[in-house]
């Protein structure tokens, strides 16, 4: 029996979705490549023996991202998605080149700040929302979410090899090259998308700032990424302890976990779209996150049980990563999608920043179990907040 045409991507939607997912994947790979190796590779640089300076260099990207997401999102509403994305990618490439030619941690920190100032996540997500109909948008968002997960898995394998061959400078030149690839995709591959039609009276930015359902979704992405980073403060050492792995072998766990989570995530997204059950699927996934976090304190005492629980975590994580930006794009006024997604991505960056700080403090206070129970409590609060999400008009 043929699939309903409303659930089939048109050729233009398919091209836009694949191109933007590829752009996101290449750019995120350029960021993820740094995570597994930077703290070790920076030791030989002036200032690299100071963990605080190394942490500042790592975190500077997220800090400037948090400040620039809203201006870039608003600019994309006013001037168009493509020029804003191209501007952000030029900043990303420039910052990467500065890092590559620098042999001092201070200038690498400056380069990381320039990288982060090209905050295009909101503009790219709004571009994808412009290019897709509401009934297939979550699937398109899932393609982007899947590309990010794949980039993370690839980075765990590729980063040590690149640093081994070309050092830290070689890694930054690779990141700059990935930025150039993104520029090519954004300029010549992503199809032209007509501007979103106006919906009656012009919407005001205050409508985005005070919209209760947008605030609920922003709180959700804040919680999700705070929990993700806090978890990764404790999960890698647990795998090393329980599985006898080295840090260079952790990809052997992450790769099957991430791919396994995709297998379960895809049917969930299709069901949500087919039955227009986005709100129900969102609640189910948050409830699943509560359950997984509650199981982790016991599961963390065995290698295979921990891997199973982590797979469950990423199933919920990937579903939520696809659903939430799709819902933001539906709830927000059409002409202010970029601004709404700018606030959304700023909330995400805040969660990423606080997750590391709180995760480290909780480990010091009560060990890994303290992180897992805190994640469970925050997920439960998120479930309560999400329960108030109003029914959605999926025709717009």
**107 and 256 housed in the same domain:** no
Q: Is the pTM for the entire model greater than 0.85?
A: no
Express each pLDDT in 165-192 by its tens digit: 888 999 999 999 999 999 999 999 998 8
Q: Is residue 128 part of a domain?
A: yes
Cβ(155)–Cβ(68) under 8 Å? no
Q: Is 347 exposed, middle or buried (0-12, 13-18, 19+ CB in 10 A)?
A: buried
In a domain, 328, yes or no: yes
CA–CA distance, 88 with 85 (Å, rounded to integer): 5
> In this structure, are 157 and 245 located in the same domain?
no
N-term to C-term CA, the chain: 28
Specify the CATH number for the domain of residue 17.
1.20.1250.20
Q: Do the beta carbons of residue 281 and residue 272 sit within 8 Å?
A: yes
What is the residue whose two structure tokens read 């930054």? 172
- Tally of domains in the chain: 2
The last residue of one of the domains, among 190, 212, 228, is 190
The set of residues, in sequence order, having a beta carbon less than 8 Å from that of 350 and lying 6+ positions away, is: 66, 222
Burial of 114 (0-12, 13-18, 19+ CB in 10 A): buried
Which residue range is the domain that position 145 belongs to? 1-190
If asked whether residues 246 and 293 sit together in one domain, one would say yes
pLDDT tens for the chain, residues 1 to 396: 444 445 678 888 999 999 998 888 888 887 778 876 787 788 788 888 886 787 778 778 878 888 898 999 999 999 999 999 999 999 999 999 999 999 999 999 999 999 989 989 889 989 998 998 887 888 888 788 777 777 877 887 788 788 888 889 999 999 999 999 999 999 999 988 776 555 545 567 777 888 899 999 999 999 998 898 888 778 888 888 898 887 667 778 888 888 888 888 888 888 887 888 888 999 999 999 999 999 999 999 999 999 999 999 989 988 898 888 888 888 888 778 888 888 888 888 888 778 777 887 888 888 889 999 999 999 999 999 998 887 765 444
Q: Both 143 and 235 in a single domain?
A: no
Same domain, 176 and 298: no
Tell me, yes or no, whether 182 and 273 share the same domain: no
Residue at a domain's end among 190, 210, 227: 190
The answer as to whether 87 is a domain residue is: yes
395 within domain boundaries: no
């Amino acid at each position: 029996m043929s699939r309903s045409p409303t659930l089939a991507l048109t050729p233009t939607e398919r091209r836009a979705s694949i191109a933007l997912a590829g752009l996101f994947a290449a750019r995120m790979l350029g960021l993820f490549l740094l995570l597994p190796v930077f703290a070790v590779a920076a030791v030989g640089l002036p200032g690299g023996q100071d963990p605080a300076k190394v942490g500042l260099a790592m975190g500077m990207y997220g800090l400037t991202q948090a400040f620039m997401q809203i201006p870039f999102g608003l600019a994309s509403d006013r001037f168009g998605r493509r020029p804003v994305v191209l501007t952000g990618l030029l900043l990303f490439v420039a910052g990467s080149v500065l890092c590559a030619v620098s042999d001092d941690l201070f200038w690498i920190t400056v380069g990381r700040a320039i990288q982060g100032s090209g905050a295009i996540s909101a503009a790219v997500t709004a571009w994808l929302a412009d290019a897709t109909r509401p009934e297939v948008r979550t699937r398109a968002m899932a393609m982007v979410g899947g590309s990010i997960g794949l980039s993370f898995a690839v980075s765990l394998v590729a980063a040590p090899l690149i640093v081994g061959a070309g050092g830290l400078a070689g890694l930054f030149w690779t990141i700059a090259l990935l930025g150039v690839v993104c520029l090519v995709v954004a300029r010549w591959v992503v199809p032209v998308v007509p501007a979103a039609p106006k919906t009656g009276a012009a919407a005001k930015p205050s409508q985005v700032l005070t919209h209760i359902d947008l605030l609920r979704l922003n709180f959700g992405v804040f919680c999700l990424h705070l929990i993700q980073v806090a978890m990764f403060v404790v999960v890698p050492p647990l795998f090393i302890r329980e599985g006898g792995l080295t840090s260079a072998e952790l990809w052997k766990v992450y790769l099957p976990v991430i791919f396994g989570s995709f297998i379960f995530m895809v049917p969930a997204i299709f069901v949500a779209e087919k039955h227009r059950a986005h709100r129900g699927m969102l609640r189910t996934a948050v409830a699943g996150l509560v359950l997984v976090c509650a199981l982790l304190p016991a599961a963390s005492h065995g290698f295979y049980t921990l891997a199973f629980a982590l797979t469950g975590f990423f199933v919920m994580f990937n579903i939520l990563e696809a659903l939430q930006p799709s819902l933001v794009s539906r709830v927000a006024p059409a002409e202010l999608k970029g601004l709404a997604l700018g606030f959304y991505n700023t909330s995400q960056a805040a969660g990423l920043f606080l997750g590391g700080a709180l995760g480290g403090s909780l480990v010091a206070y009560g060990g890994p179990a303290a992180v897992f129970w805190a994640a469970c409590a925050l997920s439960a609060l998120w479930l309560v907040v999400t329960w108030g999400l109003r029914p959605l008009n999926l025709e717009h």
